[in-house]
Structure 1
């Protein structure tokens, strides 16, 4: 079970990254893998909602020892087999009348996403491949959900849980988005302040032959010796950088005595 550690999490579905050849396309879903029976089995919890807003929920256990075991959901399969191929690959196989009717391959991708590839046969006995993509949830939910190919049916408990989950997700996602926007705004403001500080330090170390006035625009030049000088004369008035090595920037003095670059 040590190698299964990477899979033990609550995973949230990326509906836009999925590819379904069979079944009901999901609108949202979660897929939770937990250790069970003192580490001898895996507990799979599934909860998802269709495009028609119908909620589904189911749960089952599977033993990842590479051997076939009786499966509790007889509607889907008589037996199930699970094997841990390596630290990033987990394989489930479901049997009916001795034949593999569904294979679910779990893969941890290099970007940390969980990819589920389901291969099986639909009700018309035609082969299909469904691909689902998940990302690991940062918070641990009391249960999890997904659109895994295991046969699941809508239940009253699933509907109630899904409504509560949807409301919680909507509220927390909105709050997290607001915080993210605030963080991005603060980051931009911090960057602007840092730029003003660096520019101000350069100007206050430059040669000044007059007292700058708040709100006025001045022009910063670099001299041939690498020092800077603040001038009242703009580059166009010089016809270039004038007697200096190069023009650096036009700047304005703000009320807090920092300087800001102007076009």
Structure 2
């Protein structure tokens, strides 16, 4: 239903010549006004729905990111608890093996260095990063490339901030 503005016979203290003539409402005008209000309501609803859809997609994306972060944290923690007989140093690659008993351990000897005399089942190679995370061998090149790009961005950013600060 369309709401009309109340009729004021003296707007701002000025008497209208003929308030009934100036405030005359045609029934067709009311129908058009109601249609316009209904159309506006439909557009507002569609606009809000579209914005909420975007937010819903962002929430799903963030949930997936959080799931991946938690999964990576668990994998990193598990690898940090794998026994070894040496001090692990960032930047080095370590090789994970599993004994027949199921016990896993890290070695600095790769499967290629063992050759056919490898005593245990090879599980994978991992590089210990400077942030204490582990990178599997199949992702090392991508991680290195990402780090090079980050370093370039940081270098450009530092140059810009030094230049702009002068």
TM-score by length of 1: 0.34
RMSD: 2.9
Partner of residue 227, structure 1: 103
1:240 Cα deviation after fit: 7.0
Distance in 1 of aligned mates of 2:62 and 2:117: 36
The verdict on how the C-alpha distance between 1:228 and 1:159 changes in structure 2, with shifts beyond 3 A counting, is: same
Displacement of 1:195 in angstroms is 2.3
Q: 1:254 is matched with which residue: 111, 115, 129?
A: 129
Higher strand share: 1
| 1:196 aligns to 2:72 (yes or no) | yes
Shift of 1:228: 1.0
Structure 2: state its 5+ residue gaps: 1-30, 139-166
Q: How far apart, in 2, do the equivalents of 1:169 and 1:239 lie?
A: 66
Provide the C-alpha distance between the structure 2 equivalents of 1:178 and 1:255, rounded to a whole number of angstroms: 37
Is the alpha carbon distance of 1:241 and 1:170 closer, same or farther for their aligned partners in structure 2, counting shifts above 3 Å? Answer: farther
Choose which of 24, 32, 37 in structure 2 pairs with 1:160. 37
Q: How many residues align structurally?
A: 108
- Between the aligned partners of 1:197 and 1:224, the Cα distance in structure 2 is 27
Q: Distance in 2 between matches of 1:198 and 1:228?
A: 16
CA contact (8 A) 1:214 1:257 kept: yes
Given that residues 203 and 228 in structure 1 are in contact (C-alpha distance below 8 angstroms), is that contact kept between their aligned partners in structure 2?
Answer: no
Which consecutive unaligned segments of at least 5 residues does structure 1 have? Answer: 1-153
Query: CA shift at 1:229, angstroms?
Result: 0.9
- Distance in 2 between the 1:219 and 1:185 partners? 33
How far does residue 156 in structure 1 lie from its aligned partner after superposition? 4.2
* More relative contact order, 1 or 2 (CA 8 Å, 6+ apart): 1
Q: Which has the higher helix share?
A: 2
Larger radius of gyration, structure 1 or 2?
2
- The Cα shift of 1:232 comes to 2.5
Structure 1 contact 221–241 (Cα < 8 Å) conserved: no
Instruction: Provide the rounded CA distance (Å) in 2 between the counterparts of 1:190 and 1:256.
Output: 19
Note the C-alpha offset of 1:220.
Answer: 1.5
